[in-house]
Structure 1
Amino acid sequence: MKKYSFLFLGLSLLLTSCSNDDNGIKPGPTPDPDPTADVAAQNFMWKAMNLWYFWQPDVPDLADTRFSTDAEYTAFLESYPDPENFYYSICNNHERIVGEENAIDRFSFANEDYSELVNSLSGISQSNGLEFGLRLIGNSSDVFGYVQYIVPNSDASTKDIQRGEFFTRVDGVQLNTQNYINLLFGENSTYTLGMATVSDNTISDSAKEVTLTKIENQIEDPILVAKTLDVNGTKVAYLMYNRFLSSFNEDLNDAFAQFKADGATELVLDMRYNPGGSVNTSRLLASMIYGTNTSDVYIKQRWNAKIQAEFSDEFLTDYFASSTGASAINTLNLSRVFVLATGDSASASELVMNGLDPYIDVIHIGTTTRGKNEFSITLVDDLENSYIYSENREGKINPDNSWGLQPLVGRNENADGFYDYTSGLVPDIALSEDLTNLGVLGDPNEPLLARALEEISGISSKIDFTVEMPVENFDSSRMHNPLKDNMYLEKPLQLNK
């Protein structure tokens, strides 16, 4: 007989989560530290990672048999007096330690205050509504930014700044690799951008300045543009979708209802700046594109061996959906989709592309995606709940340890079993954005959209697709958004017991 534990994994403040103390996955025998040792945080981190971490079998210090005595375990924990350093030391070749080039784990992270972690993962933050990419100036350490888009109803939307503009300075200080994080993403709620122009691949400061103020709890509708274009008699739906947020599932379904009413028979899905989010929302979007056959496998989860064995096949497999949970899915029942994706496209964006691939032709236009195929969960020091965060159990969390973890705990594979795209998904039609000609999002003359429309119509475009100044970001505002590129689960835990 199956046992059910209704535990939500991931961004728990976005969810209504409940739990049953008797139904969680319980850790096996583990060592215990000396009760007089000041290692509460390190002890929680080791035990939570020993249970949940995807690469637990590959990290010698997380092995079940690593410690023969409690004293040996205590000494190990005490050898890392800084809990943050300890956490990254037990990750598998973490980017923070070995650098991006040699990293296996590029995305696990921790926060010394789990409430800050949970709030940030729920999108509770400050924002001025300016979304931008960052690039180095030549071979120097100086940095310039370019505007990707402006969030509607934000402070930036009321200022004289728009997509395609450039900036080099903040409060009169030239941006560089050492100061840009503090200047753009620091404690300052208001800053003034010094704007710039580009000519012949040379960036020059201008006299224009724009002052922006961050607003508490700025809400971004992930549907930036949803419209139907008439391309030589063919109705083409265009969706600029910038984040997988479950709170906007009904709005997404409504957009597809309009596409259907407009008679759309083709879709251009623009996820060039979409870093990811909810796995379930990705499933719903895929269903709106392909169909609502609930016997077709969308994705299957792969956890570490000890966790994988605890889950039922039903829990591990996600099928295409016929309902959002509140309304019937509006599907276009397409046999192909054109996806605009770049290096800023990650996690749930890549999941849609990979999950659809066994069923329809996914024509990827753009550049290679980020390559994030792992999902995470939020862990806190609550042993009785298998360390899974639940807002209903705030009083059960160890009051002596406020650390929260967001480790990678699994990968998603498609119906064909494919999951190996850590190097990113390579485009079928390679075309970088051009900083000298970013165009207007949703306009048929915007280069990436125009290239997709050319494929759909079969008629050569009059647009010159030569790229003079290709986008070569080393960072972007999206990666400093509290949600970043997390891919998280929203489903009940269903055990095999």
Structure 2
Amino acid sequence: MKKYFFLFLGLSFVFLSCSDDDGIKNGPTPDPDPSADVAAQDFMWKAMNLWYFWQADVPDLANDRFATNAEYTAFLKNNSDPENFYYSICNRHEEIYGEETAIDRFSFANEDYTELVNSLSGISQSNGLEFRLSYIGNTNDVFGYVLYVWPDSDASTKDIQRGDFFTRVDGIQLTGSNYIDLLFGDNSTYTLGMATVTDNTISDSDKEVSLSKIENQVENPILVAKTLDVNGTKVAYLMYNRFLSSFNEDLNNTFAKFKTDGATELVLDMRYNPGGSVNTSRLLASMIYGTNTSDVYIRQRWNAKIQAEFSDESLTDYFANSTGASAINSLNLSRIFVIATGDSASASELVMNGLDPYIDVIHIGETTRGKNEFSITLVDDIDNSFIYNSDREGNINSQNSWGLQPLVGRNENADGFYDYTSGLSPDIELAEDLTNFGVLGDVNEPLLARAIEEISGVSAKINFTVEMPAESFTSSRLHTPLKDNMFLDKPLPTNFELE
């Protein structure tokens, strides 16, 4: 039996009609025994078989993997934990030395798709404190250091700020074994035991700070936006911490202010930006470079069966002249200074790569994360090709609340370049220094000062020697439902059928 699927991404959609001879020929679609308790696994397999970027490289996702429904049912039942099942069909392999590595490092699942969907809009349960974690020397003990605090959050009302250190939660020393439960568990309130650093030595202090996570907390990704006067040159500075479409107009208004201020240079600070909306990255790139809608920003590449359904035009994103609600305010720059680190990923890297064929992108900081694939949100709505659409909440299988955020394609810039899975290397390497973190947006903050030095040609009056590099093994951003995800949120014209 043929089923016609329409692809919905975001809140709007368009589609092209196809003849009855069009469609993706999968062969017979397996169905599990109705009495088997495998609804989640069945959804996951079918959604990944259709959309997953590496579908052809995973033997268990092959179209002809199962000869009978009984064989398919047995396969699904063999892994009773849906989350484990999901990761078992992602593109992972074992290295010869026994360490598991994953070609796919970023696909993930969430047992509550509503939590996942909310996170894509920047809505989460949060106390507003962003931090990184690092090991103390060669021990298993862990310390944290504060990156910044969200305005209008619980943390913003407490005595804690960028550059502060902590070692304990509720009186318990943080370790590599307990930090997840203590900081990212079900506890909505916890008390941090603060610490100090002297001569590269971390010492506990008596100070404590209690923080409470607030439901439906929203982060404005525009943390700092100001225009600096650098020896007569107007330099716009933007500290941008997440690509959220709900703040597109705020972002455009920020660039309007930069234009009014007469800014002719831009320092785009994405050192902590893990990514987000692909379309928002396109709009930001247009605000930087220009609004010529015939210039290619990026092209998408999907798995072979999905790729064949799209025209070249529908796979191509051009620079924009409108946000959809207002005209783009563009600085029309010929160069940009980008502050980026290992915490800069996906859509942050996409902006850098998408701009590279057109303007000089001067990267200050450290090598970025290396995430060039995008994802879409999948739920158990088979009649909508598993694509989440807020208008179809009633069509999602009420017996299965799982949501998936798999990698389904990669982005290439206008020159066809996409190979930065090892990250984008800096032109000017400079790590953050835990002994001199500085104030974000202040001309003496080391990474901004280094950008200003490059712009002005005048040596900065500060010492760029890094005494205690701000290294870490994880950050608070990576323990949210959104993580470092880059999601495609443009309407794609397609109307295909599965047999």
Structure 1 length normalisation: TM-score?
Answer: 0.94
CA contact (8 A) 1:166 1:195 kept: yes
Cα distance in 2 for residues equivalent to 1:173 and 1:222: 32
CA contact (8 A) 2:431 2:466 kept: yes
Q: 1:85 Cα shift?
A: 1.5
Note the 1:91-130 alignment, pairs <5 A.
Answer: 91-93=90-92, 102-130=101-129
Cα distance in 1 for residues equivalent to 2:99 and 2:252: 37
1:16 paired with 2:11, answer yes
**Secondary structure of the structure 1 residue equivalent to 2:206:** strand
CA contact (8 A) 2:433 2:469 kept: yes
Cα distance in 2 for residues equivalent to 1:444 and 1:492: 41
CA contact (8 A) 1:19 1:385 kept: no
Cα distance in 2 for residues equivalent to 1:379 and 1:137: 40
- Equivalent position amino acid for 2:134 in 1: R
Residue 441 of structure 1 is matched in structure 2 by 440
CA contact (8 A) 1:299 1:318 kept: yes
Residue 209 of structure 2 is matched in structure 1 by 210
Higher mean C-alpha deviation, range 420-429 or range 99-108: 99-108
Q: 1:182 Cα shift?
A: 1.1
Residue 155 of structure 1 is matched in structure 2 by 154
**Secondary structure of the structure 1 residue equivalent to 2:314:** helix
CA gap of 1:31–1:5, structure 2 versus 1, over 3 A, is closer
Residue 339 of structure 1 is matched in structure 2 by 338
Count of residues in correspondence between the two structures? 487
**Secondary structure of the structure 2 residue equivalent to 1:218:** strand
Cα distance in 1 for residues equivalent to 2:50 and 2:142: 42
CA contact (8 A) 1:26 1:386 kept: no
Q: Deviations over 1:350-388 (max 9, x none)?
A: 000000000000000000111111111111122211111
Residue 356 of structure 2 is matched in structure 1 by 357
CA contact (8 A) 1:367 1:431 kept: yes
CA gap of 1:331–1:100, structure 2 versus 1, over 3 A, is farther
CA contact (8 A) 2:154 2:211 kept: yes
1:409 paired with 2:408, answer yes
- Equivalent position amino acid for 2:444 in 1: N
Note the 1:267-286 alignment, pairs <5 A.
Answer: 267-286=266-285
Residue 12 of structure 1 is matched in structure 2 by none
Higher mean C-alpha deviation, range 292-301 or range 33-42: 33-42
CA contact (8 A) 1:225 1:240 kept: yes
Residue 182 of structure 2 is matched in structure 1 by 183
Residue 377 of structure 2 is matched in structure 1 by 378
- Equivalent position amino acid for 1:363 in 2: I
CA contact (8 A) 2:121 2:246 kept: no
1:419 paired with 2:414, answer no
- Equivalent position amino acid for 2:433 in 1: D
1:487 paired with 2:492, answer no
Cα distance in 1 for residues equivalent to 2:145 and 2:5: 47
Residue 470 of structure 1 is matched in structure 2 by 469
Structure 2 length normalisation: TM-score?
Answer: 0.93
CA gap of 1:430–1:100, structure 2 versus 1, over 3 A, is farther
Note the 1:24-423 alignment, pairs <5 A.
Answer: 28=26, 29-93=28-92, 102-423=101-422
Percentage identity across paired residues of the two chains: 82
Q: Deviations over 1:181-212 (max 9, x none)?
A: 11111111111111111111110001111111
Cα distance in 2 for residues equivalent to 1:388 and 1:94: 28
CA contact (8 A) 1:53 1:407 kept: yes
Q: CA RMSD in A?
A: 2.2
CA contact (8 A) 1:7 1:390 kept: no
Cα distance in 2 for residues equivalent to 1:328 and 1:121: 24
Note the 1:443-458 alignment, pairs <5 A.
Answer: 443-458=442-457
Q: 1:400 Cα shift?
A: 3.1
**Secondary structure of the structure 2 residue equivalent to 1:217:** strand
1:430 paired with 2:425, answer no
Q: 1:421 Cα shift?
A: 0.8
Cα distance in 2 for residues equivalent to 1:99 and 1:259: 53
CA gap of 1:293–1:101, structure 2 versus 1, over 3 A, is farther
**Secondary structure of the structure 1 residue equivalent to 2:452:** helix
**Secondary structure of the structure 1 residue equivalent to 2:140:** coil
Q: 1:489 Cα shift?
A: 1.5
CA contact (8 A) 1:7 1:17 kept: no
CA gap of 1:319–1:236, structure 2 versus 1, over 3 A, is same
Q: 1:5 Cα shift?
A: 8.1
CA contact (8 A) 1:7 1:491 kept: no
Give the gaps of 5 or more residues in structure 2.
none
CA contact (8 A) 1:169 1:194 kept: yes
Q: 1:112 Cα shift?
A: 2.5
**Secondary structure of the structure 2 residue equivalent to 1:416:** coil
CA gap of 1:134–1:414, structure 2 versus 1, over 3 A, is same
CA contact (8 A) 1:311 1:496 kept: no
